[in-house]
Amino acid sequence: MTDLRKAAVLLMSLPQDEAAQVMGKLSAKQVELVSVEIAKIGLISGEDQEIAIKDFAEASPASIGAGSGGLEVAKNLVEKALGRNASPTIESVRQQIEAMPFGFLQKVDSQNLLTFIMDEHPQTIALILSHLQPSQAADVISGLPSDRQLAVVRRVATMGQTNPEIIHEVEKGLEHRMASVMSQQFENAGGVEAVAEILNVTDRATERSLLENLAQEDPDLVEEIRRLMFVFDDIAKFSAKDIQTVLKNVESSQLAMALKGASEDLKQKILGNMSSRAADMLREEMEYLGPVRLSAVEQVQQQIVDIIRRLEDAGEITVNAGDEVEEFIQ
């Protein structure tokens, strides 16, 4: 990776507010350069994150977020970093991205793109995909029939230098055909996340009834909803008694890994509900783990969330919806 790409990856790995603070210390030209790089990058791999972080700072893995780029991410960072002076830099970044071959596809949904290029020759599809962000290209490839997937991937792998006139011809032809789609604005509504948010503020009896009935038709959907209704950081809202119940049912190795990506408040709340000796041992185990991949941390956190849900179903703990206060009767 170039130094510029490493800087972009590092900023994408930080929470946006922190990344904006870092960018605020750069010159306007440096902000523009790194913003263009962020806009060009899609999702970033854990390996790229590790390389960038090791090279630039002794960063705690707990501060690493899910890394993703794109024009919108770059725009948000520039606005936070430069404030009122952001407009010229944002416009320059946008123009540079759109001037790249197939840059207009940054604003196109992968499924819409797939519809327009599905019947193209594999060589044409390969040419288009080679100019997309890896995550966007992966979405398109996954939607192709298996035989065409192989043909396209083979051509991408063997593609060398391409005549700029051919690239321009294919780009303009595709842009013309997709003009109607690009001129429309779509808004996402509904989805599993919306259901989870609604049920999070629904009374417990209604929530249970709905999920139990839905589970008879689609148990996988119910599991997905339940996972979104409660996340690992919500443990911080638990009472001391419930936290201690969770600790009895979770292996120390799981807890050590999960807390690597937790907030400081949650770490202190967990440690505060352990004996001094157990807390010291957990701290040592966390230090012994060293740097860990975000995906590994999230996987273990989800395992603990699943354990919490089982404890809730068994009536051993109470997971209140949102900030709902549990009512007691005499």
Per-residue tens of pLDDT for the chain, all 330 residues? 677 777 777 777 777 777 777 777 777 777 777 777 777 666 666 666 666 655 554 444 434 444 455 556 666 666 666 666 667 666 666 556 555 666 667 667 778 788 888 888 888 888 888 877 777 788 888 888 888 888 888 888 887 776 778 877 887 787 777 776 555 555 555 678 888 878 776 776 787 788 888 889 888 888 888 777 777 888 988 899 999 999 999 999 999 999 988 888 899 999 999 999 999 999 999 998 888 888 888 889 888 988 988 888 788 887 754 444 444 444
Q: At what angle do helices 192-200 and 219-229 cross, to 10 degrees?
A: 60
What is the distance between the alpha carbons of residues 260 and 119, in angstroms, rounded to a whole number?
Answer: 47
CB 260 within 8 A of CB 289: yes
What is the distance between the terminal CA atoms of the chain, rounded to a whole angstrom?
A: 65
What is the distance between the alpha carbons of residues 81 and 89, in angstroms, rounded to a whole number?
Answer: 11
What count of Cα atoms within 13 Å lies in the side-chain half-sphere of residue 2?
6
pTM: 0.40
Q: At what angle do helices 122-129 and 110-117 cross, to 10 degrees?
A: 150
Domains of the chain: 3-99 (no CATH), 103-182 (1.10.220.30), 188-229 (1.20.5.2020), 232-330 (1.10.220.30)
Q: What is the CA radius of gyration of the chain?
A: 24
Selection from 190, 207, 191, 211 nearest residue 199 by Cα: 207
- The set of residues, in sequence order, having a beta carbon less than 8 Å from that of 269 and lying 6+ positions away, is 235, 236, 243
